[in-house]
Amino acid sequence: MTDVFNFLSLPGAGSFLEIQRHFLERTLDMNAIRETLIAVGVVVGIILLVMLILHFRPKKPYVPQDWIFDAKQIRDLLGVALNQRAKIELHFSMEGEARRPALRCSAVALENGTILLEASGLASLSHKWQGRNVDCFFILRKQDSYAFYAFSTTIVEIRTLKEACLITVKVPEKIESRQKRSYLRIPPPEEYMLGAAVWRGLDMPESLERNDLALWPKPSRIWLPGMREEFTFRDISSGGLRLHLPRHILAEEMDFIHVSTQFIVMLDLWEPDKAQRLRFWLLCRMQSPVLDFETKGMDIGAQFLSWAKPAESGGSNLIWLKLASSGEVEPLGNWIMRRHLEFFRESEQSLSFAHRQTA
């Protein structure tokens, strides 16, 4: 013990103890750091393992909520269509071919995994469509409203009768519930189409000029029923439209036909419910130009990007607006819906009258 006290009393002994204390503290710090690094490494390893498992795990395909896959539910919907004598529209299209006009049929029978459709008044339908795909649309009544449905299927058989064609198609594997009006396409009723015009290429007004019609160049193409028909409409929806360029016009337009090209369409429509004119200026993006090998013309699809209406102040001023969140021009969608329901009710009345006559 005396030696210890003697050592502590020696010069420099305090410095030695200070060094020893710092060494012990540093050792403890290194141990703590090592333990922390190990813990962090374990956590990172677990995260990487989970990420690898999620990456290589089979991914479930995205299925929209409005798609119906249940076989019983599909048969029930088709059964309701049969009971309501619903019209089913068939849209024929093949890649590289122009889309044919829609064919309206009545559901006649549902059996053995097939749907029998009758196209009254159709003298014949080419058997080349057997085995091909077809897009189908139908509407069901639901109390005070209507529900829209669509499906794709295959034509099994085509039979020609004296005054009708019978078309047998497979029961689809899925049906899409299409409640959005932007899905609804109609051939524009000629009695409510007052005129239209197209601006494209160098005739397109500059962005700063688009608010004032007085600054616009003359339109590139005009459609006035019975007077000047440089193009026609195949169909129209609240989200887009499809034009047809006849053969004699197509040659002059080839330099402007490119996917994603922008152009403007003016629609002049009549609203019979309010006895007033409706005008829309629609900025469009060109999509899917398809050559019609029969007519040598071309069908051009277009998606709406924005739209304009006359300013309340009148004159030549326009107000440009964005599309609704559903991707549609809402006032145009209202007009299309009314025309579609009119046609639907007229078809129902005609079918009901014919049924009473034969009863």
Cα–Cα dist 107/111, whole Å: 11
Q: Given this model, what pLDDT does residue 14 score? A: 52
pLDDT 10s digits, 138-171: 888 777 667 778 888 999 998 888 778 888 999 9
- Asked whether the beta carbons of 139 and 147 are under 8 A apart, the reply is yes
β-strand pairing of 232-236 with 240-245: antiparallel
Cα–Cα dist 234/124, whole Å: 22
CATH number, span 190-346: 2.30.110
CA-only gyration radius of the chain, Å: 35
Element containing residue 242 per DSSP (H, E) = strand 240-245
Q: What's this model's pTM, rounded to 2 decimal places?
A: 0.54
CATH number, span 67-179: 2.30.110.10
Q: In this structure, which amino acid lies at residue 105?
A: C
Compute the average pLDDT of residues 258-265. 91
Q: Given this model, what pLDDT does residue 38 score? A: 76
Cα–Cα dist 55/81, whole Å: 44
Element containing residue 160 per DSSP (H, E) = strand 145-160
What stretch(es) of the chain map to CATH 2.30.110.10? 67-179
Q: How many helices (H) and strands (E) does the chain have?
A: 5, 17
Cα–Cα dist 87/107, whole Å: 7
* Model confidence band, residue 59 (pLDDT cutoffs 50, 70, 90): low
pLDDT at 228 exceeding the cut of 60: yes
Cα–Cα dist 231/219, whole Å: 13
Compute the average pLDDT of residues 225-229. 88
Compute the average pLDDT of residues 185-192. 84
Q: Which long-range contacts does 201-206 make (Cβ < 8 Å, 24+ apart)?
A: 201/255, 201/256, 201/263, 204/262, 204/263, 204/264, 205/264
Cα–Cα dist 290/149, whole Å: 26
CA dihedral 88→93→99→103, nearest 10 degrees, is -20
Q: What percent of the chain has pLDDT over 70?
A: 77
Bridge partner residues of 132 (DSSP)? none
123 vs 344: which has the higher pLDDT: 123
Compute the average pLDDT of residues 196-217. 91
Compute the average pLDDT of residues 235-255. 89
- Asked whether the beta carbons of 301 and 284 are under 8 A apart, the reply is no
Element containing residue 77 per DSSP (H, E) = helix 71-83
User: Hunting for tokens 């439209």 — which residue is that?
Assistant: 241
Tally of CB atoms within 10 A around 227: 8
Least Cα distance to 177 among 334, 63, 301, 82 occurs for 63
